[in-house]
């Protein structure tokens, strides 16, 4: 059986900044990058998480704790990569998360605070890190790579179980933004792609992971490998490929790593299923 977490790509010697690189999807990628010879800088809002990640990632890794939604955080992170490693080769922006606790949800229930918080956390922070990275790539004059974290909810919604409309808007915005800058900076050999997971077991997904009804839905909506939620390592191979030299001719693309979410119907009511089956037998 193919196992994506063991995939090997050419990232040796690359200076890679992982915004949100101390937990979940970001930490899984940072581990794999460091293991395969990349020089990594990570950021997080948690000082404790940064210390733990750096202890694991090795002596060449660098990082600090700060809010990714602040403009100075991205500028500081890029400067740290250049100071520590001489240059910046790639940015992987993973930082983001749910805005439910702040008031995101269905549009008619969404609060003003929930809207502002969710867009700042997921879209504005990403635009700031991308801006800082592009400025550095242009200074260096020999290209660079950006990989942005999207979500299948940016174009494949789940109205019953994942009705967080500001989050969906932010993730849809990431797709449009990434394609726009991929187009604009292709002539500078700066490539920009998006990776779009479905439900993955991370600190952000604890609400869904603890809901039996959602898990039954996911078993149908993400049918690969027995119908389960993803784990961070499921995304790592795809992320490493898009960050690596092997993907040097790829830009402006969105890769769904979703267990089949975007090609599956999800839950089908038993009465509808019985009717469909009876029709197919006649």
Whole-number average pLDDT of the chain: 91
Concatenate the DSSP letters of all residues of 136-200 into one string.
Answer: HHHHHTS-EEEEEE--GGGTS--TTT---HHHHHHHHHHHHHHHHHHHHHGGGTEEEEEEEE-SB
pTM of the model: 0.91
Residue 149's DSSP bridge partners are 195
Q: What is the mean pLDDT of residues 45-51?
A: 97
Residue 42 lies in a domain: yes
The rounded percent of the chain whose pLDDT value lies above 90 is 83
Q: Does residue 3 lie in a domain region?
A: no
Mean pLDDT across the stretch 173-189? 98
Domain count of the chain? 1
Residue 207's pLDDT band, with cuts at 50, 70 and 90, is confident
Q: Which domain holds residue 21?
A: 9-281
2 falls within a domain = no
Q: What is the pLDDT of residues 1-14, one digit of tens each?
A: 334 445 678 999 99
43 lies in some domain: yes
Mean pLDDT of 198-210: 77
**Catalytic residue (choose from 92, 167, 185, 249):** 167
The answer to which of 211-220, 241-250, 252-261 has the lowest mean pLDDT is: 211-220
Query: pLDDT tens across 17-33, in order?
Result: 999 999 999 999 999 99
Mean pLDDT on 50-54:
97
Catalytic site includes residue 185: no
For residues 186-214, average pLDDT: 87
pLDDT band, very low/low/confident/very high, at 277 (cuts 50, 70, 90): very low
- pLDDT band (50, 70, 90) for residue 127: very high
Within 8 A by CB and 6+ apart from 117, the residues are 99, 102, 103, 104
Residue-wise pLDDT tens digits, 128-145: 999 999 999 999 999 999
pLDDT of residue 269: 57
Q: Which helix (H) or strand (E) holds 43?
A: strand 39-44
CATH at 66: 3.40.50.720
Cβ atoms of 198 and 259 closer than 8 Å? yes
Q: In whole angstroms, how far apart are CA 35 and each of 27, 31, 126, 214, 276?
A: 12, 6, 25, 35, 50
- Residue 204: per-residue pLDDT: 67
Q: Please give the Cα distance from 278 to 148 (Å, whole number).
A: 45
Q: How much is the pLDDT for 268?
A: 56
Q: In the prediction, which pLDDT does 257 show?
A: 97
């Amino acid at each position: 059986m193919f196992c994506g977490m063991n995939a090997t790509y050419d990232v040796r010697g690359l200076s890679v900044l992982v915004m949100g690189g101390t937990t979940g999807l970001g930490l899984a990628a940072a581990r794999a990058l460091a293991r395969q010879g990349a020089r990594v800088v990570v950021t997080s809002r948690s000082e404790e998480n940064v210390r733990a990640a750096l202890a694991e990632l090795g002596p060449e890794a660098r990082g600090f704790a700060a809010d990714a939604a602040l403009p100075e955080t991205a500028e500081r992170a890029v400067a740290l990569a250049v100071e520590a490693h001489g240059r910046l080769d790639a940015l992987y922006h993973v930082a983001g998360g749910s805005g439910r606790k702040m008031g995101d949800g269905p549009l008619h229930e969404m609060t003003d605070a929930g809207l502002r918080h969710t867009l700042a956390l997921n879209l504005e922070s990403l635009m700031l890190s991308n801006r800082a990275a592009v400025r550095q790539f242009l200074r260096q004059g020999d290209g660079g790579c950006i990989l942005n974290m999207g979500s299948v909810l940016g174009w494949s919604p789940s109205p019953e179980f994942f009705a967080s409309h500001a989050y969906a808007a932010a993730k849809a915005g990431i797709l449009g933004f990434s394609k726009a800058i991929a187009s604009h900076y292709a002539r500078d050999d700066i490539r920009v792609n998006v990776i779009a997971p479905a439900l993955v077991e991370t600190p952000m997904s604890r609400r869904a992971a603890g809901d039996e009804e959602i898990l039954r839905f996911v078993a149908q909506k993400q049918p690969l490998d027995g119908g389960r939620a993803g784990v961070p390592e499921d995304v790592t191979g795809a992320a490493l490929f898009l960050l690596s030299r092997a993907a040097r001719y790829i830009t402006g693309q969105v890769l769904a790593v979703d267990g089949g979410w975007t090609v599956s119907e999800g839950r089908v009511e038993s009465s509808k299923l019985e009717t469909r089956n009876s029709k197919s037998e006649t």
